[in-house]
Structure 1
Amino acid sequence: MSNKIYTIGREFGSGGKEVGEKLAAELGIKLYDKELLQQAAKESGFCEEIFENHDEKPTSSFLYSLVMDTYSTGGYSAAPFLDMPLNHKVFLAQFDTIKKIAERESCVIVGRCADYALASNPQCLNVFIHADIEDRAKRISKKLNITEQKAKDMAQKQDKQRASYYNYYTCKKWGDSKSYDLCLNTSKLSTDDCVKMILEYRKLMDEHKK
């Protein structure tokens, strides 16, 4: 596996996607965010709207063992897939697309449990971007032209949703430093500085493997 993959987990309003965009531009590789949904829809046969409706949204019940059993039999087209609820099918289709993308090219993938999907990939560097709630509220308020209080409420709601989704489908905890290789705070670093840190970490990581 020679492709270098960067996954970006992020708190809402932390600038995580911006970090991902700048990192991809610096390296001359593609960034997958909403584009991942489009590709998963194309490969799975589901319409894109279904993926958008289930995008990083928590679900009510899921058997972790079922995911593993499904993949051990050769992919989400295996028999157990047919009997799954739609949200589970969507997750597995997205999971499969993430793995295919990583096999095909170096890239940056934002969110969607990509770090979990690529847990066995030694070339995957998993980053989590966070920031103080006040700074995130200011960023969201400016971008969406809403009050900072409304922005703060939105951030907390989105974080809860992302955490529920991530914790549910993985064996890790969203935002916990142990779940990632590198955690960066955009209240203390600019997004440009975060990119520099990620690139330096990759350099040191590669040297450590020699």
Structure 2
Amino acid sequence: MNTILTIGRQYGSAGHQIGQELAKQLNIPCYDKELLDRAAKDSGLCKEVFENHDEKPTNSFLYSLVMDTYSYGYSSSVLSDMPLNQKVFLAQFDSIKKLAQEGPCVIIGRCADYALEDNPNCLSVFIHADLDKRIRRIARLYSLTDAKAKDKIIKTDKRRASYYNYYTSKKWGDLDSYNLSLDSGLLGIDGTVSMLKYAIDLKEKNCKKKIFDCEPKV
């Protein structure tokens, strides 16, 4: 298996649990909050910095500087002059690429699909669910009223969308931004995991077929 699966998710859609269960069944690593540890280690910045900026929208400036800097490489002196939020994004972006080079894995959120969009092994998915089902899930998990759960969901989704839309050339949750979109409210957690395993299997088989078709006939 060579596939790196990236998961974008609506809050309350069980995207984290789905990613963890899939990774467990496939016996591969799953990175969610773990990515913050890796980025901190790779960059030398403290973990608390990444936690404070994790998937949070940035001030709307210097985006082009960040991406140009990443495209052309960056020195420690250039990095030291950047605003903290830009350093955090670049460090995560870099760590995601390094993790993908280490082998198959599941990476949740943090614009991973964008960081790996040129990687032929990447399969990007967006997990969503009906709002009412997400409200019930969050209310149950955190012992909240439905009203408070709904407010938490709306605010979290807005924050994730702002972060994703700012740092990528795509739109959070839009069908065109991902290879696959699945309704976990309809499929359930186990059903969604099964669908992802099936999708990965199809992708792997298709890649092998392309390689075989390109080989000279003897």
Query: Where on the TM-score scale, by shorter chain, does this alignment land: which range?
Result: over 0.9
Residue 81 of structure 1 aligns with which residue? 79
Contact 2:11–2:156 (Cα < 8 Å) also in 1: yes
Deviating runs (4+, > 4 A) in structure 1?
none
Q: CA shift at 1:20, angstroms?
A: 0.1
RMSD of aligned Cα (Å): 1.4
For 1:65-80, list aligned pairs within 5 A.
65-74=64-73, 76-77=74-75, 79-80=77-78
Distance (whole Å) between structure 1 residues aligned to residue 68 and residue 179 of structure 2: 27
Q: CA shift at 1:89, angstroms?
A: 0.5
Distance (whole Å) between structure 2 residues aligned to residue 136 and residue 36 of structure 1: 25
String of CA shifts for 1:189-208, please: whole Å, max 9, x gaps.
11111111111112222233
Contact 1:3–1:103 (Cα < 8 Å) also in 2: no
String of CA shifts for 1:112-145, please: whole Å, max 9, x gaps.
0000111111101101100011100100011001
Q: From 176, 179, 199, give the equivalent of 1:178.
A: 176
Distance (whole Å) between structure 2 residues aligned to residue 155 and residue 137 of structure 1: 7
Residue 117 of structure 1 aligns with which residue? 115
Distance (whole Å) between structure 2 residues aligned to residue 86 and residue 114 of structure 1: 20
Q: Does 1:48 align with 2:47?
A: yes
Distance (whole Å) between structure 2 residues aligned to residue 176 and residue 61 of structure 1: 21
Residue 198 of structure 2 aligns with which residue? 200
Q: CA shift at 1:110, angstroms?
A: 0.6
Residue 5 of structure 1 aligns with which residue? 4
Equivalenced residue count is 208
Q: CA shift at 1:71, angstroms?
A: 2.4
Distance (whole Å) between structure 1 residues aligned to residue 107 and residue 205 of structure 2: 23
Residue 212 of structure 2 aligns with which residue? none
For residues 62 and 103 of structure 1, do their structure 2 counterparts lie closer, same or farther at Cα, with a shift above 3 Å needed? farther
**Structure 1 SS opposite 2:186:** coil
Contact 1:13–1:139 (Cα < 8 Å) also in 2: yes
Residue 35 of structure 1 aligns with which residue? 34
Distance (whole Å) between structure 1 residues aligned to residue 82 and residue 71 of structure 2: 16
Percent identical among aligned pairs is 60
Contact 1:127–1:183 (Cα < 8 Å) also in 2: yes
Contact 2:3–2:204 (Cα < 8 Å) also in 1: no
Instruction: Give the letter for the 2:206 counterpart.
Output: H
Return the TM-score normalized by structure 2: 0.91
Distance (whole Å) between structure 2 residues aligned to residue 3 and residue 91 of structure 1: 26
Q: CA shift at 1:63, angstroms?
A: 3.8
Q: From 178, 186, 189, give the equivalent of 1:188.
A: 186
Return the TM-score normalized by structure 1: 0.94
String of CA shifts for 1:31-53, please: whole Å, max 9, x gaps.
10111001111111111000000
Distance (whole Å) between structure 1 residues aligned to residue 83 and residue 101 of structure 2: 28
Q: From 86, 103, 106, give the equivalent of 2:104.
A: 106
Q: Which runs of 5+ in 1 are unaligned?
A: none
Q: CA shift at 1:79, angstroms?
A: 4.9
Q: From 148, 156, 159, give the equivalent of 2:157.
A: 159
Distance (whole Å) between structure 1 residues aligned to residue 75 and residue 18 of structure 2: 35
Contact 2:16–2:108 (Cα < 8 Å) also in 1: yes
